[in-house]
Amino acid sequence: MFHTLWKQACYTNLPIPTPCPFHCLVLSTDVCLTEYYATKVKPYRENPKTRALFLTYPGEGAVYSVIVEQVTWDGTIHEAAYVPVATYGCLWYSQSQTCRRLESAWGLVVALLLSLTGLIICFRGHRFFSFQMFFFGFLAFSLISFMIFIAITRASARDGLLAALLGGALGGLIWTAVWWLFAIPVLSISLSGLTLGFLVAATLLFTPLGMCSSINNTVALSYWVFISCFMLLPALLLLPQAKLLSVVSCSLVGGYCTILAADQYLGTSLSYVVLNVVRRSLIPGGYQASNTVPFQLNDVLLSMTWAALFALGTVLQLWSERGRAPFPQSPYHKWIRDRSSAGQPLLATTQLPPPTYGSIVGNAPPYEPPPSYNSY
């Protein structure tokens, strides 16, 4: 006896009209109608499990049903449908605010500020390099802080958001200080490349590729190896062209952050591109959860907006940065150089040696040729 799990979506906006869930439930009681309207989630051919995990989306209705198939000795196939189960991913019948994406105006303000910051990064991230370092440090450390805080304390999402903001602010300052003190572009841009790779991996898991059996198997190692490989891939491919890696990272990640405010106001599912990875990591066995994304018209339009922002941001930054130095000078190193040059005599009789590249005393401007180290 074989079991096949099917999912039928019933997309509505809250408040939920009464006929919709009952109509989907009626369709799911018939085998032929279920196979026609619903989407096959996962077949269980041998030793069927009695428990399955799914990623739900608050406010988006879904009906889950199981079809049992039996093949007799003469090749006849008999099918029957179990009693379906409906869910909206939240307690829509209660008086609470659990079906809304963000429960407070403060959360909407945070999403709006993140969108405005992402818009600046998308079109001028490489020009404001120190701000880019703070931005990517904030994103990376806030995500890590949220996951560690929730995993240890099991606190609410509101407390986790506060911990993410504090950890992100500290991480942004630390990563900006790394650029100011060391002024190594390859080192500083590596975090941007890893963030770009993480977003690419999360986007691929959001697509039907994330339902691949080799990823959602019983071993968690394959899931995390998939994410780790795609995190490293963009950085390894584009790191020799550090400027291009910086521009692409700013355009793609900044464009995604830009659409987050619209996602919260329109109620689309694109914010779950990253949130699904967080949910899978915090829930025991979450890497095995099936994910059928409720991709509607609003999601398509917002995805096209993201793609347009990425293309425009990349072209605009590459065009505006042509003929300029690949990376700006570190503000701290520039201050050290200006302070040392302030003590030099205005009417020097001897020619001073050229400044050496990479020294704390001062860096030669990018448009000057490198000095000959055996000339003095």
Each residue's pLDDT tens digit, 100-157:
555 567 777 888 899 999 999 999 999 999 999 999 999 999 999 999 999 898 888 7
Asked whether residue 22 carries a pLDDT value surpassing 90, the answer given is: no
- Give the residue, 271 or 219, on which the prediction is more confident: 271
Q: Mean per-residue pLDDT for 298-319?
A: 95
Judged against a pLDDT cut of 80, whether residue 316 lies above it is answered with: yes
| pLDDT at residue 349 is higher than 70 | no
pLDDT band at residue 291 using 50, 70 and 90 as cut-offs: confident
Are 231 and 85 a contacting pair, CB within 8 Å? no
The better pLDDT of the pair 361, 91 is held by 91
Average of pLDDT values for 281-302?
Answer: 80
Between 80 and 367, where is the model more confident? 80
Closest CA to 99 of 90, 109, 107, 111: 90
Give the highest mean pLDDT range of 7-11, 231-235, 349-353, 370-374.
231-235
* Higher-pLDDT residue of 295, 232: 232
Residue from 239, 243, 221, 218 nearest 132 by CA: 243
Name the 3-class secondary structure at 157: helix
Per-residue pLDDT at 361 exceeds 60: no
Is pLDDT above 50 for 47? yes
Q: Is the pLDDT of residue 37 over 70?
A: yes
Per-residue confidence (pLDDT) for residue 83, from 0 to 100: 74
Amino acid identity, position 325: A
Residue with token string 């802080």? 145
**Percent of the chain with pLDDT strictly greater than 70:** 75
**At 362, is the pLDDT very low, low, confident or very high (cuts 50, 70, 90)?**
very low
SS3 224: helix
Residue 89 predicted with pLDDT over 90: no
CA 313 to CA 161: how far, in whole Å?
Answer: 29
pLDDT at 15: 42
Please give the average per-residue pLDDT across 246-265, as a whole number: 93
Helix (H, G, I), strand (E, B) or coil at 77: strand
> Residues with Cβ < 8 Å from 333, sequence gap 6 or more?
180, 183, 360, 362, 363
Nearest to 356 by CA among 337, 332, 335, 328: 337
pLDDT exceeds cutoff 70 at 2? no
Pairwise CA distance, residues 158 & 188, whole Å: 31
Quote the mean pLDDT of the chain.
79
266 pLDDT exceeds 60? yes
Residue-level pLDDT at 319 = 96
- Please report which confidence band the pLDDT of residue 69 belongs to, taking 50, 70 and 90 as the band edges: confident
Q: Looking at the predicted structure, is the pLDDT value of residue 255 above 90?
A: yes
What CA–CA distance (Å, rounded) separates 374 from 376? 6
Residue 177 makes CB contacts below 8 A (sequence gap 6+) with none
Give the least confident one: 201-215, 274-288, 351-365. Answer: 351-365
Angle between helices 105-124 and 157-182 (to 10 degrees): 30
pLDDT value of residue 214: 63
Q: What is the DSSP letter of 42?
A: E
Tell me the β-bridge partners of 63.
8, 86
Of 35, 36, 9, 3, nearest to 23 (Cα)?
9
Burial class of residue 61, CB neighbours in 10 A (0-12, 13-18, 19+): buried
- The verdict on whether omega for the bond into residue 15 sits within 30 degrees of 0, i.e. cis, is yes
Q: Residue 325 pLDDT > 60, yes or no?
A: yes
Contacts of 3 (CB under 8 A, 6+ apart): 43, 44, 48, 66, 67, 68, 69
